[in-house]
Amino acid sequence: MKIRLRRLFILTTIIILAGFASLYLIHATEHGLTDAFRIDSSQADQLNAIRFVITPRGLEPADMSITPGRYWVAIDNNLDFKENSLNIDRIGGPRIKSGKTFQGQRKFRGFVDFSPGEYLVFESSRPGLQSKITVSAQK
């Protein structure tokens, strides 16, 4: 008898929680709260990504050319440095992005808006770890 009551209680709880979740989703959809998580095809076509890898040979690729726009920048650390201070600077201009990674944390990620010009991706304490990005004026 106790097992039946326990199963009935669990089943009733699941049904009630599912009902609340459904009501929340209906409310969120009606009030546009889910739009922030929706990507339409025009946004998906505009998603660009750049990936750099820290290797024994340096930061690879050593240089690249891209068009202006918003990019997801990923820097993967294949070496076991205790700490990395990674930066993206516009050459002759301001720092665009900076961040630190620590031992065991092997990734640096973030969105960067690139306008035409030249940029330097580098690790502050290791001069050999750098890469140049050239952003052309045409899209």
Q: Which amino acid is at 13?
A: T
Cβ density class 57-85: b for 16+ within 10 Å, e for less: ebbeeeeeeeeeeebebebebeeebeebe
In CATH, the architecture of 41-135 is: Sandwich (2.60)
- pTM to 2 decimal places: 0.64
pLDDT in tens, the chain (139 residues): 778 888 888 888 888 878 777 777 776 666 555 444 455 555 555 679 999 988 888 889 999 999 999 999 988 877 777 777 889 999 999 999 888 877 666 677 889 999 999 999 998 888 788 999 999 987 6
Delimit the domains of the chain by residue range: 2-37, 41-135
Instruction: Determine which helix (DSSP H) or strand (DSSP E) holds 28, and give its type and residue range.
Output: helix 2-30
